[in-house]
Amino acid sequence: MASPPVVRFAPSPTGRIHIGNARTALLNWLFARRRNGTFILRFDDTDPERSKAEYADAIEADLKWLGITPDLVRRQSERMAAYDEAAARLRALGRLYAAYETADELDRRRKRQQALGRPPIYDRAALRLSEAERAGLEASGRKPHWRFLLEPTIVHWDDVVRGESHIDCASLSDPVLRREDGTYLYTLPSVVDDIDFGITHVIRGEDHVTNTAVQIQIFEALAGAAPRFGHHNLLTDAGGGGLSKRAGALSIASLRAKGIESLAVAALAVLVGSAEAVRPVDSLDELAGLIDPSHLSHGAARFDEAELEALSARTLHRLPYAAVADRLAALGVAGPKAEALWLAVRGNLSRLDDAAIWREVVEGEVAPIVEDADFLKLAVSCAPEGPWDQSTWGAWTTRLKELTGRKGRALFHPLRLALTGREAGPELAALLPLMGRARALARLSGQSV
Ligand code: GLU
């Protein structure tokens, strides 16, 4: 049997994560979970200006809310010495070279190439500089950035999601690995970390396909074993556009604030654009059994917020009391009746917090709405004796039906309005025993209790 995989989720802590990022995190987490593997959270924080410790903490909290607890957390900012060492090795191998062009010069060159109908690939002019020219540039104060010398080969890999894949590196510019100020772009540190942490599978969005070809060449140059790669389709909005424009609204933090269930976010994040139907699940383990990177389709994965809300409600309707007891207690729904209340109301909720409303209805004070006082008086007069249980409502309304000939809404609605003070809500059969006889009869008599 293959040894357990080691995967990583590698966000840059330059903002909060959104549901599209959650897709990547979860696909890695579920992949590892299914195979007893290890999941590493790696912060790609080599950009000192944009990376913030607060964002890293928030990302960790967002993942925890989704049910993801990393086995290890690592930060690239703590591993600069390893990257310097790898850069020195690439230089010694002649695979990392200094280039002095400014952004403007590169831009002009690209435009010229395009005008001539040539692909805008970096022309490696830096490799043709004489020692004297180089010295002159340095003397004028120019600092080099550093490019990786690509071999003009076709790089092949067997993609975990997409199967046989290849990129012709002759059609790519030599990528910049290190900036003028000595900081690294993510490309090289990522490879160094993947080697040092023994990453076996890199599962990430298909926007990284080109990076993969480059990185496979860097793995080979550093004589490390390249992991397997898998590129999943990206979530798009309903129109097929990227989610980044709406990243704020679709951040994990804002979905949480809206009362969306974390399991619904997780289920939708990975089931959309897969071979499985979008449906509620009871646990991440169940999801791990349903989904694997190889089950993803190659087409678009359209994300629809309305679908998320509906899935969240359906998820809530199935959650057992044990799964929500802590959150209910935080809302003040606790004690011996809490489980029965949960089971009575869950099927009617679209957000868990609304359970507190129904606790008020059964235990707190309600202002009854009296639409038909005579009918309510009759209901009081024929109310079953206690103790009340689940069958009370049925027996009581059957009796009222016989006495009045009412049925449907005319029979039930005035009772609901008086008993709960609301137009709609969970089944009264389940609420009545929790409300108790005295409270119910008082409300039917118009008293606010
Ligand atoms: N920091 C990179 C990103 O967020 C990581 C990509 C990767 O998984 O290698 O896009």
* Domain 1-74+154-161+183-318 sits in CATH 3.40.50.620: yes
Q: Which CATH architecture has domain 365-444?
A: Orthogonal Bundle (1.10)
Instruction: Report the residue among 41, 192, 208 best suited for mutation to probe ligand 1: largest number of ligand atoms under 8 A from its CB.
Output: 208
pLDDT for res 238: 80
Query: Which residues have CB under 6 Å of ligand 1?
Result: 10-12, 44, 186, 190, 202, 204, 208
**84-153+162-178: CATH superfamily:** Glutamyl-tRNA Synthetase; Domain 3 (3.90.800.10)
Parse the chain into domains and list their residue ranges: 1-74+154-161+183-318, 84-153+162-178, 365-444
Tell me the C-alpha distance between 284 and 265, whole Å.
Answer: 11
Tell me the C-alpha distance between 211 and 123, whole Å.
Answer: 19
Q: Across 21-138, where does the E strand assignment appear?
A: 38-43, 72-75, 96-99
Q: How far is CA 389 from CA 253, 283, 431, in A?
A: 41, 32, 9
- Atom 5 of ligand 1 has which residue's CA nearest to it? 10
Quick check: 379 and 444 in contact, CB under 8 A?
Answer: yes
Quick check: 415 and 397 in contact, CB under 8 A?
Answer: yes
pLDDT for res 1: 58
CA of 116 to the centre of ligand 1 (A): 34
Tens of pLDDT along the chain (449 residues) come to: 579 999 999 999 999 999 999 999 999 999 999 999 999 999 999 998 999 999 999 999 999 999 999 999 999 999 999 999 999 999 999 999 999 999 999 999 999 999 999 999 999 999 999 999 999 999 999 999 999 999 999 999 999 999 999 999 999 999 999 999 999 999 999 999 999 999 999 999 999 999 999 999 999 999 887 999 999 999 998 888 888 767 777 899 999 999 999 999 999 999 998 989 999 999 999 999 999 888 888 777 899 999 999 999 999 999 999 999 999 999 999 999 999 999 999 999 999 999 999 999 999 999 999 999 999 999 999 999 989 999 999 999 999 999 999 999 999 999 999 999 999 999 999 999 999 999 999 999 999 99
pTM of the model: 0.91
pLDDT for res 352: 97
For 290-312, b/e burial (b = at least 16 CB within 10 A) is: bbbbeebeeeebebebeebbbbb
Strand bridging mode 228-232 / 163-168: unpaired
Tell me the C-alpha distance between 275 and 295, whole Å.
Answer: 6
